[in-house]
């Protein structure tokens, strides 16, 4: 049995309970609101071609790059009219899921991009 | 020719086939730290009780050079035997014969013993140790799996089905264990996954070992696919035997009765629980202070430990226990603990095992991860399972019974037969802190010293609602009992519920929130 020292706090509806955590609870990923200006890979795969470079103005729906995964060539498209800010992947690079591929910004608005 | 020579010929044939894949393959199996299929059966069943069938079955493959290959018993051993002198049906895949791969005849042997188990209403034990489908047999091996899954489903809730993973169990093969009632796994020996590390690496670039991907620990702790975790095959067999001792042979029999024994003299039950409901204790101590000889056989010990499930005996009869564990995550309900307890409730109900629920929980676990993981539909499973269960259902509220948690944990409203509460019980829509903040929001905000007023209001709420008497006044609690009377009250409740007869509306089947 756990001793008093190992106990941690868990707050449920304002009350602080003394208890222990499970590994799953300790390892849970905290929620982050998605940033529309950052395009992440939705599947692990290989970047087989890149069609744009930084400062390019790109229309909504245009293909930015090809990500091959599970023998399918997936087109990664521009979600809105905008400009390419930075490209984080190289041709032939194999990337995991949720990997930052491209940073973009919408046209006609000044969005500060962290670099 | 005399009969004697026929008998000698038979013996010679049997000896040959019983060697499985031969000395070399057996040596390899031993080097992996594994027993052979035959050794496993012997270790698990009562001495000299195993009787084999289909020893002479041969594979029927004709392609890819298979026609010239001899696979003894086609890589699987089937038969019947006894555990504690009660009959069981068993199959054990033999990894030494073509890696225990499953072809048409191999599957036919398994389905033969499954059919027998269902017909004779005896438990089925399957020992899995197989590289998977026998690719040379193509769609016939897939057909074999399908026939097994279908029978697993038919037999579900009629006879106990036990899967023992003692080697690889990969790809489609995993779905037979997943359809059965209890899955046993052993450290460093059992491996279970849909796609192995090799495929994952080549397709996704993720590197992981077999043990990390689908070893015993992973399935016992993280996925919840395994119900029992052991460090050796011997320990695993002991666990299986113990389980068999607790469960009925089928859905119309009772578990074998044991001589009644009082709980062992240990800590007094009233000394286990701290007065402050924010301080934890080990709920297992409460269970053990109630059960015969203070024995408790826990199931899924390492998965969602914030809820405890398992079997104990009371006056010699098997009882299923479900209890919140304040020691882990304050005993909250979450997706995993809901799944774990809901399935156990359905198991007990299917096999006529009375359910005792011990309650002490502050509610549901808050968090984006929980909401997005579908805690709504997972949590609904407990409501469904308790509501649907018609076995005797007794609840004892030890301390906290707040909000949705109060309803979910076999409340009167879900048709508990008896609901008892200790005088320490706090039955309310939420804890005093949360409730005071909402009910007295205005008074607290407008006060000169908000914190002082808040504390006052919390105290006020505590005195008024943090007790069992409001619920008892409504008849939702049948009786407020002294902690030391808990065992006696439960025993009496079980006794008077012996002939419980509840009929549910006639239907083909319900649609539980899977």
Could you tell me the domains of chain B? 28-246 (3.90.226.10), 269-429+466-496 (3.90.226.10), 432-465 (no CATH)
How is residue B476 annotated by DSSP?
A: S
Residue A111 has pLDDT above 70, yes or no: no
Looking up tokens 């109630």 gives B290
**Residue B251's closest CA among B370, B129, B160, B164?**
B160
Please tell me the predicted confidence (pLDDT) of residue A2.
45
Contact A14 B434 (CB under 8 A): yes
Looking up tokens 């007869």 gives B501
Strand partners, A19: A8
Nearest to A12 among B204, B369, B431 (CB): B431
3-state secondary structure of B131: coil
User: Chain B contacts of A7, Cβ < 8 Å?
Assistant: 280
Distance of alpha carbon B14 from alpha carbon B17, whole angstroms: 5
Contact A15 B332 (CB under 8 A): no
Q: Is the CB of A70 inside 8 Å of chain B's CB atoms?
A: yes
3-state secondary structure of B174: helix
* Contacts A–B by Cβ distance under 8 A: 86
Tokens of B93: 């895949």
**Residue A88's closest CA among A44, A35, A40?**
A40
Q: Is the CB of A97 inside 8 Å of chain B's CB atoms?
A: yes
Sorting pLDDT into bands at 50, 70 and 90, what band is A114?
A: low
Task: Tell me if B356 sits within 8 A of B396, measured CB to CB.
Answer: yes
Q: Is the CB of B423 inside 8 Å of chain A's CB atoms?
A: no
Please tell me the predicted confidence (pLDDT) of residue B54.
97
Nearest to A23 among B221, B363, B368 (CB): B221
Range 156-215 of B in CB contact (< 8 A) with A: 203-206
Q: Is the CB of A33 inside 8 Å of chain B's CB atoms?
A: no
User: Chain B contacts of A41, Cβ < 8 Å?
Assistant: none
- CA B39, B44, B45, B46 dihedral sign is positive
Return phi, psi of residue B281, to 5°: -155, 170
Distance of alpha carbon B181 from alpha carbon B249, whole angstroms: 13
This prediction's pTM: 0.92
Name the residue of chain B whose CA is nearest to A14's CA.
Answer: B434
**Residue B284's closest CA among B224, B318, B240, B326?**
B326
Task: Tell me if B249 sits within 8 A of B122, measured CB to CB.
Answer: yes
Contact A94 B205 (CB under 8 A): yes
ipTM of the complex: 0.82
Question: What HEC string does B397-460 produce?
Answer: EEEEEEHHHHHHCCCHHHCCCEEEECCCCEEECCCHHHHHHHHCHHHHHHCCCHHHHHHHHHHH
Distance of alpha carbon B245 from alpha carbon B133, whole angstroms: 34
**Residue B161's closest CA among B237, B95, B98, B240?**
B240
Nearest to A22 among B280, B282, B329 (CB): B329
Could you tell me which residues come within 8 angstroms of residue B148 by beta carbon, excluding any fewer than 6 positions away? B107, B110, B111, B114, B176
Query: What does each of the 514 residues of chain B score in pLDDT, given as a tens digit?
Result: 689 999 999 999 999 999 999 999 999 999 999 999 999 999 999 999 999 999 999 998 888 888 888 899 999 999 999 999 999 999 999 999 999 999 999 999 999 999 999 999 999 999 999 999 999 999 999 999 999 999 999 999 999 999 999 999 999 999 999 999 999 999 999 999 999 898 888 777 778 999 999 999 999 999 999 999 999 999 999 999 999 999 999 999 999 999 999 999 888 899 999 989 999 999 999 999 999 999 999 999 999 999 999 999 999 999 999 999 999 999 999 999 999 999 999 999 999 999 999 999 999 999 999 999 999 999 999 999 999 999 999 999 999 999 999 999 999 999 999 999 999 999 999 888 888 889 899 989 899 998 999 999 999 888 888 899 999 999 999 999 999 999 999 999 999 999 999 999 999 999 999 8
Contact A15 B362 (CB under 8 A): yes
- Which structural domains are found in chain A, ordered by start? 38-106 (2.40.50.100)
User: Chain A contacts of B431, Cβ < 8 Å?
Assistant: 12-15
How is residue B352 annotated by DSSP?
A: T
Tokens of B163: 């899967």
How is residue B265 annotated by DSSP?
A: S
The alpha carbon of residue B190 is apart from the nearest alpha carbon of chain A, in Å, by 22
Q: ∠ CA B334-B336-B341 to the nearest 5 degrees?
A: 95
Looking up tokens 């790809």 gives B171
Q: Is the CB of A30 inside 8 Å of chain B's CB atoms?
A: yes
Contact A16 B366 (CB under 8 A): no
Nearest to B369 among A12, A20, A28 (CB): A28
Q: Is the CB of B326 inside 8 Å of chain A's CB atoms?
A: yes
User: Chain B contacts of A12, Cβ < 8 Å?
Assistant: 330, 332, 362-363, 365-366, 431, 434
E strand segments, B306-392: 307-314, 317-324, 355-361
User: Chain A contacts of B205, Cβ < 8 Å?
Assistant: 44, 94-96
User: Chain A contacts of B432, Cβ < 8 Å?
Assistant: 15
The residue-averaged pLDDT of A47-70 equals 93
User: Chain A contacts of B402, Cβ < 8 Å?
Assistant: 13
Nearest to B330 among A1, A19, A69 (CB): A19
Could you tell me which residues come within 8 angstroms of residue B281 by beta carbon, excluding any fewer than 6 positions away? B272, B273, B274, B326, B327
Sorting pLDDT into bands at 50, 70 and 90, what band is A110?
A: low
Nearest to B430 among A13, A23, A97 (CB): A13
The alpha carbon of residue B310 is apart from the nearest alpha carbon of chain A, in Å, by 19
Distance of alpha carbon B7 from alpha carbon B337, whole angstroms: 58
Distance of alpha carbon B416 from alpha carbon B429, whole angstroms: 19
3-state secondary structure of A80: coil
Range 363-382 of B in CB contact (< 8 A) with A: 363, 365-369, 372
**Residue B228's closest CA among B291, B171, B311, B286?**
B311
The alpha carbon of residue B400 is apart from the nearest alpha carbon of chain A, in Å, by 12
Name the residue of chain A whose CA is nearest to B224's CA.
Answer: A24
User: Chain A contacts of B304, Cβ < 8 Å?
Assistant: 22
Alpha-carbon radius of gyration of chain A: 21
Angle of helix B432-439 versus helix B450-465 axis, rounded to 10 = 120
């Amino acid at each position: 049995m756990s001793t008093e020292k190992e106990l941690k706090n868990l707050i449920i509806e304002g009350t602080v309970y003394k208890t222990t955590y499970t590994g799953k609870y300790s390892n849970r990923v905290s929620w982050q609101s998605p940033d529309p200006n950052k395009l992440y890979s939705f599947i692990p795969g290989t970047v087989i071609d890149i069609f744009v470079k930084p400062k390019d103005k790109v229309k909504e729906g245009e293909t930015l790059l090809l990500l091959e995964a599970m023998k399918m060539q997936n087109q990664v498209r521009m979600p809105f009219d905008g400009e390419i800010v930075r490209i984080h992947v190289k041709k032939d690079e194999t990337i995991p899921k949720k990997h930052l591929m491209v940073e973009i910004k919408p046209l006609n608005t000044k969005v500060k991009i962290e670099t | 020719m005399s009969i004697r020579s026929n008998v000698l010929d038979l013996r010679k044939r049997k000896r040959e086939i019983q060697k499985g894949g031969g000395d070399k393959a057996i040596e390899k199996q031993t080097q992996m730290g594994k027993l052979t299929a035959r050794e496993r059966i012997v270790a698990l069943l009562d001495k000299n009780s195993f009787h084999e069938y289909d020893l002479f079955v041969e594979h029927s493959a004709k392609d890819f050079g298979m026609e010239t290959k001899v696979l003894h018993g086609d890589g699987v051993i089937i038969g019947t035997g006894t555990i504690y002198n009660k009959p069981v049906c068993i199959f054990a895949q033999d990894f030494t014969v073509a890696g225990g791969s499953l072809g048409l005849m191999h599957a036919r042997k398994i389905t033969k013993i499954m059919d027998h188990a269902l017909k004779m209403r005896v438990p089925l034990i399957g020992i899995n140790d197989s590289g998977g489908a026998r690719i040379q047999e193509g769609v016939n091996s897939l057909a074999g799996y399908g026939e097994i899954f279908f029978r697993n489903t038919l037999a579900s809730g009629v006879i106990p089905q036990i899967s023992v993973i003692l080697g690889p169990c990969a790809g489609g093969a995993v779905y037979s264990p997943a359809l059965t009632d209890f899955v046993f796994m052993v450290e460093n020996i059992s491996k279970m996954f849909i796609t192995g590390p090799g495929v994952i690496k080549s397709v996704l670039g993720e590197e992981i070992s077999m043990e990390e991907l689908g070893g015993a620990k992973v399935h016992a702790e993280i996925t919840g696919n395994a119900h029992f975790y052991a460090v050796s095959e011997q320990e695993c067999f002991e666990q299986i035997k113990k389980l068999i001792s607790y469960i009925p042979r089928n859905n119309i029999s009772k578990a074998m009765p044991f001589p009644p024994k009082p709980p062992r003299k240990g800590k007094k039950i009233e000394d286990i629980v701290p007065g402050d409901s924010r301080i934890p204790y080990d709920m297992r101590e409460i269970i053990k202070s109630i059960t015969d000889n203070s024995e408790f056989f826990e199931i899924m010990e390492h998965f969602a430990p914030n809820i405890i499930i398992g079997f104990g005996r009371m006056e010699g009869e098997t009882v299923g226990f479900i209890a919140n564990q304040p020691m882990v995550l304050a005993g909250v309900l979450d997706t995993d603990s809901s799944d774990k307890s809901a399935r156990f409730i359905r198991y007990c109900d299917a096999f006529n095992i009375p359910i005792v629920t011990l309650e002490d929980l502050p509610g549901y676990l808050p968090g984006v991860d929980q909401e997005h993981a579908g805690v709504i539909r997972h949590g609904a499973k407990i409501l469904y399972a308790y509501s649907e269960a018609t076995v005797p259902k007794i609840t004892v509220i030890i301390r906290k019974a707040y909000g949705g948690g109060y309803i979910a944990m076999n409340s009167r409203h879900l048709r508990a037969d008896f609901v008892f509460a200790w005088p320490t019980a706090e039955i309310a829509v939420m804890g005093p802190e949360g409730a005071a903040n909402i009910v007295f929001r205005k008074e607290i905000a407008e006060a000169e010293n908000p914190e002082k007023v808040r504390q006052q209001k919390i105290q006020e709420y505590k005195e008024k609602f943090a007790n069992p008497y409001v619920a008892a006044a409504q008849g939702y609690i049948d009786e407020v009992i002294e902690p030391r009377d808990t065992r006696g009250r439960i025993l009496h409740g079980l006794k008077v519920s012996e002939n419980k007869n509840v009929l549910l509306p006639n239907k083909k089947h319900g649609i539980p929130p899977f």
